[in-house]
Every structure is written in structure tokens, then in C-alpha cells.
């Protein structure tokens, strides 16, 4: 049991526990006291909720669409592969493999010898030496025939097992390919929908310099979906990233995420954000430190006015 003084001391330190600020031994000591009081448990739970909520207050950083799709594909492929491996190992324990089949073959062959030697006393009992000598004569041939038959059966079984393994490999490859294709199709469908819907407004963004970089923003005003495609925009340098901004009529700059371009200067960025049609004044891209900035600090590289 804990004393009121101990509970008071723990109550004061509960934020330290919720934030994970305490050394393990101290945290354990406090938790043992928390466990004795429902009010301390409730207070700790609500403080932990507040602490966890901090994760939702970070600036948006959507993953570039191509890298997001690639990561999804890797995860799905890995999950499917592990699942298939697991299923295979389970079935192996139930189904004899080539090795386990071979073992009884040899044991069966070896068992012929004691059976043969055991037949001698039995034959002596019934005393029919003529038939005995016949059996003795054909026994080696029977043994060879049985061994050959077993060998052929094992060979055939191994062949069947190999065919089964080949079929399983083909199925695994096909499943992975189907998953990949399905993921790519879903991304393509999503992009097509985001760029071609009846409610999509297009904002052309042009470079502020004479060079070629440019971008188009597709704004689905019903789904509140923003899809931006860049071209000829060189990759941001080491420790830098591009950041997309929605500029409102009141000159607020809203970050729509950070991104980088591929070797051909392309990037596809998607975000969902609710903004009334009349509130959008412009869209711009700046270069910022990695991780993005709360407000633009770099020069505007590409921009487009929402004049429509």
C-alpha cells in the first residue's frame, strides 16, 4: 500500500512518467505506486494521451508518390513472401520430403535380411528342404527386384515433389507480381481520378527563372485532393528538400508537404486539404532545409496564380 504522501509525490511527477523522462528504475518505482490508485491511473492515462497527441502536431511530410508506391510494394511483397514461406514450412512437416522418403526405403531394404535369416528356422521346423532351396535361390533376385522397385518409386516421387516445388515457386512469383500490379493499378487509378475528375481545377505553375522547371497542380475540389506533378526540377541538394505551399487570399502560407524529384526532375505529390475555392490565391514551391519549414524561407522556384 502507498501512503498519501507518496501518492502526492507521484501525482506531481506523473508528467515525467507520461513523457518517458525518467530512468527505468525510478519509473518502475512510481508505477508501483500508480498501480495502487485509480485516480493516479486515470491522471496518467490522460497525460499520456496529451503526450501522444504531440505526434499529430508535426508539419505534414507526405512521401513522394513514386517512393510511397515503391515502399508499399516492398512491404506487400515481403508480407506475401513470408506468408508463403510459413505455409510451405508448415506443409513440409506434414508431407514427407525426398529425404524422409529415402530413409524408409533403405530401412525396408535392410529389413529383408533379418526376414530372410528368420525364415531358416521356420523352414527347418516344417522340413521341406527342396522348397527351401528354391526360396534361397530366388531370394537375392527378389531383394534386388524390390530394391529396384523402391528406387524407381522414390525417383518418381522425387520427380513429383520437384514438380510441386516448381509449381509453388511459379505461384509465389505470380502472386507477388499480381500484388505489385494491383498496387500499381490502384496508384494509377488514384492519380487518374485526381487529375481528370469533373471537379478538378488545374493550376499551371511556371518557373521564376528562364529555365525549364514547371509543374501542374490538379485540385479536386470535391474530394479536397491535391495532386502536383513537376517536370525538369533538379533534385534538391544535400540537406535540402522542396516544399509545396498553398497561398491563401489572406497571404497565409500553408505547407502541403515536402518532396524531392527523381533523376529526371519529376515528382508527384498528393495531399488532402480542405480549402474553399475562393480562398486559394497561388501555389508555390520553395527549397527548404530537410524536414521542411513552418513558413517559407527559401526563394520561390516555381509558382502559379489561382486565377480561374
Residue ranges binding another protein (CB under 8 A): 12-13, 15-16, 18-23, 46-47, 49-63, 67-68, 71-72, 74-76, 78-80, 83, 86, 179, 183, 224, 226, 241, 252, 254-258, 260, 271-274, 288-295
| CA dist., res. 112 & res. 100, Å (int) | 20
Smaller CB separation from another protein, 116 or 287: 287
Quick count: other Cβ atoms within 10 Å of Cβ 261?
20
Nearest-10 Cα torsion for 203, 209, 212, 214: -20
Q: Least distance from C-beta 143 to another protein, angstroms?
A: 49
CB of 240 to another protein, least distance (A): 10
| Cβ nearer to another protein, comparing 42 with 212 | 42
Nearer to another protein, 102 or 293 (CB): 293
Shortest distance, position 212 Cβ to another protein, whole Å: 24
Q: How far is the CB of 16 from another protein (least distance, A)?
A: 7
User: How far is it, in rounded angstroms, from Cα 217 to Cα 305?
Assistant: 11
DSSP 28: H
- The burial of 21, by beta-carbon neighbours within 10 Å (0-12 exposed, 13-18 middle, 19 or more buried), is given as exposed
Q: How far is the CB of 214 from another protein (least distance, A)?
A: 22
Whose Cβ is closer to another protein: residue 129's or residue 237's? 237
Name which of 66 and 116 has its Cβ closer to another protein: 66
Closest distance to another protein from the beta carbon of 218 (Å): 15
Q: Which is nearer to another protein, 62 or 197 (CB)?
A: 62
**How far is it, in rounded angstroms, from Cα 180 to Cα 177?**
5
The count of other CB atoms within 10 Å of the CB of residue 49 is 10
CA distance 153 to 18: 67
Under 8 Å between Cβ of 301 and 287: yes
- Taking the alpha carbons at both ends of the chain, their separation in whole angstroms is 70
Q: How far is the CB of 73 from another protein (least distance, A)?
A: 10
Q: Are 34 and 41 in contact (CB under 8 A)?
A: yes
User: With respect to another protein, which residue has the nearer C-beta, 105 or 175?
Assistant: 175
Q: Which is nearest to 3 in space by CA: 35, 42, 33?
A: 33
Amino acid at each position: 500500500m502507498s501512503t498519501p504522501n507518496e501518492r502526492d509525490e507521484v501525482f506531481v511527477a506523473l508528467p515525467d512518467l507520461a513523457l518517458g523522462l525518467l530512468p527505468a528504475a525510478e519509473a518502475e518505482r512510481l508505477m508501483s505506486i500508480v498501480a495502487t490508485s485509480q485516480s493516479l491511473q486515470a491522471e496518467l492515462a490522460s497525460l499520456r494521451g496529451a503526450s501522444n497527441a504531440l505526434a499529430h502536431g508535426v508539419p505534414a511530410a507526405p512521401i513522394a508518390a513514386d517512393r510511397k508506391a515503391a515502399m508499399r510494394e516492398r512491404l506487400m511483397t515481403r508480407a506475401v513472401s513470408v506468408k508463403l514461406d510459413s505455409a510451405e514450412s508448415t506443409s513440409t512437416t506434414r508431407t514427407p520430403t525426398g529425404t524422409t522418403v529415402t530413409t524408409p526405403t533403405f530401412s525396408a531394404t535392410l529389413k529383408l535380411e533379418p526376414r530372410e535369416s528368420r525364415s531358416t528356422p521356420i523352414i527347418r521346423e516344417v522340413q521341406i528342404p527342396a522348397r527351401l532351396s528354391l526360396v534361397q535361390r530366388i531370394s537375392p533376385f527378389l531383394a534386388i527386384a524390390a530394391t529396384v522397385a523402391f528406387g524407381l518409386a522414390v525417383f518418381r516421387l522425387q520427380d513429383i515433389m520437384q514438380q510441386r516445388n516448381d509449381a509453388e515457386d511459379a505461384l509465389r512469383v505470380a502472386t507477388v507480381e499480381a500484388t505489385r500490379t494491383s498496387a500499381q493499378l490502384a496508384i494509377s487509378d488514384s492519380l487518374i481520378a485526381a487529375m481528370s475528375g469533373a471537379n478538378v481545377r488545374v493550376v499551371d505553375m511556371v518557373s521564376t527563372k528562364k529555365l525549364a522547371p514547371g509543374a501542374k497542380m490538379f485540385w479536386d475540389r470535391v474530394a479536397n485532393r491535391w495532386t502536383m506533378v513537376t517536370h525538369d526540377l533538379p533534385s534538391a541538394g544535400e540537406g535540402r528538400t522542396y516544399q509545396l505551399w498553398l497561398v491563401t487570399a489572406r497571404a497565409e502560407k500553408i505547407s502541403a508537404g515536402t518532396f524531392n524529384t527523381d533523376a529526371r526532375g519529376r515528382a508527384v505529390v498528393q495531399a488532402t486539404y480542405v480549402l474553399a475555392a475562393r480562398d486559394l490565391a497561388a501555389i508555390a514551391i520553395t527549397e527548404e532545409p530537410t524536414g521542411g519549414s513552418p513558413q517559407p524561407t527559401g526563394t520561390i522556384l516555381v509558382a502559379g496564380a489561382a486565377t480561374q
